Structure 1
Amino acid sequence: MLSVICPIYNEERYIAGCIESILAQDFPKTELEVLFVDGMSTDRTREIVDIYTKRYPFIHLIDNPERIVPFAMNRGIAASKGKVVMRLDAHATYESNYFSNLVAALKRLGADNVGSVCKTDVLNKTPKTLAIREVLSNKFGVGNSTFRTGIDHEMQVDTVPFGCLRRDVFEKYGLYDVRLVRNQDIELNKRIQRGGGKIYIVPGTSCTYLARETYAKLARNNYGNGMWNMLTVYYTRQLKSLSLRHFVPLIFLLSLTLPLIAALFWWPLAMVALLSLVMYVGVIGLVSFRLAVQKHLDFGYLLLSFMTLHLSYGWGSLCGLAKLPFLRR
């Protein structure tokens, strides 16, 4: 049996599309259970899921009073019955062969976790949202993350989104770390790797993640991602819980702020910050111009999307660093 676990909270805009893509899977429904673990939603999410639970006996709704994802996953794992566990996200839809492809690859490769490419899209397509979508799929936006930039052959990787895991992985390497509001999937995958486990990304299927559609929501989400990078390292005491790409926005922001602070004592150091900013704007401007020409997108929106993503992520990381002394107390 395959046990699919999907943490949810206030997902009324996305949940029906997610469930419909699950119902369209070619995986045998007699060998499937789907557990939606809800953080006590205050919108219509529970009402929508309830409609499906009454129609389809393999769909279930579980309460998650702690609200955050690692608690939801651990509750779902405890309640599930399958020998294979898959972690989904309600902000995404899944190709009809997603379940069958990953389950087959898990067995064929003898892997601990298997995932596939996660494409990025938006619900409402406007010049601004299309620019945001492009930046979240571009290597200058998200680094060398193979599950975002695409693959043409199977390969071992450090992490995958919405993966398919053998149940005994949790017995061998432990459950999700409930201290982590973000990065819980990355941290688990790094733990698997440190223990000698194997994680693969495979072609032949994909999922589509529906991104935030305003700069405010994009900034808020990536501020949280950046902050939790620092807190993840602190809580796990493992710098290897993350990858180098997760720290690049922080390094860029420090290249601006530290020289400006030092310039209070010796003003020529301000030129270091100016040089860093000019180089950044030059590179991102060139990338944005090429994308605008090649894909007929708005140059201004592209440039602003890159800057919003990078600066909010870096600022979140800096604020995460600032929190560490207080956490130690």
Structure 2
Amino acid sequence: MRRVRYHEYGGPEVLTVEETEPPEPGPGQVSLRAEAIGANYVDTKIRANAGSIFYRPLPGSPTGDVVGIVEAVGPGVDPGQVGHRVTALVDPDAYADFVLADAAWLAPVPDGLGPGPASLLTVAGPVALRVLRAGNLAPGETVLIHSGAGNIGALAIQLAKLLGAGPVIATASTAEKRKHALDLGADVAVDYTADDWAERVRAAAPGGVDLVLDAVGGAVLSEGIDLLAPMGRAVVYGAASGDLVEVPIRSLFGLRTVTGFSLLAWRAARPSEARAEMAEVAGYLADGTLRADVRAALPLTEAAEAHRLLEDRATIGRVLLVP
């Protein structure tokens, strides 16, 4: 079978296709025959070794949200899983014809759901829903969603509206992305690369923002905290900028709260709730409540091009690799 790895850090060109034997599932694992693999921006940072928080030793392999058919199960896994169409977060070796996945966190794919939306079932969808709930979003509250055209941000906009938020303010770096955020239901869209982006948010929410969702970090996070209203909350679930900014205690004296979120930690702490939210998101995607866009579907052998699309920051919707 084919798999994609890299043996040096660098640009997309370091991704190479290798021939190897299909992996055998171990205890608690299943083997999936991949139908499609959702590529994620964070893997471009890891591949480039773009800072200490992205470091992984060589040889490296991208992670991914894999949609596929269960081909075989390892010890301790129900053999009745064989033949089921599921999706899973795969790490390592997600870019491959056959992958290994944790049987405990497979998400069944509803009938008729395409590979693009299906690839959002295990990570992007549950994260978008949980960060809103971790921030205790209440109906009528103002929410600021950074990276509003990304996989998680786009779903968070829609879910925030579903949960009764208003207004929803989204940030994005290009005019096309801001239009997309508005099309998804955002009331205001702001360019967070502009020097005055925070002032534009203040103009839209003069009393402050009740909830900020941030996976950018750095100065964007610092300014977002300053935008919070009294009793406002910020939920931090990533640091795509690579800047792990320190939050000064004085910024919290206005009765503000900053909460961190990790999907893996949430699964470990509250597995039954995490599974219930996976199923909830699956229902929203299956019945069309949530819109999911696919920007490109490329052959597995074009993994480097997939990373180029992700790195140019102009991509809206999922970038899929198809074995």
Same fold (TM over 0.5): no
**Structure with greater proportional helix content:** 1
Q: TM-score range by the shorter chain?
A: under 0.3
Larger Rg: 1
Superposition TM-score, scaled by structure 2 size: 0.26
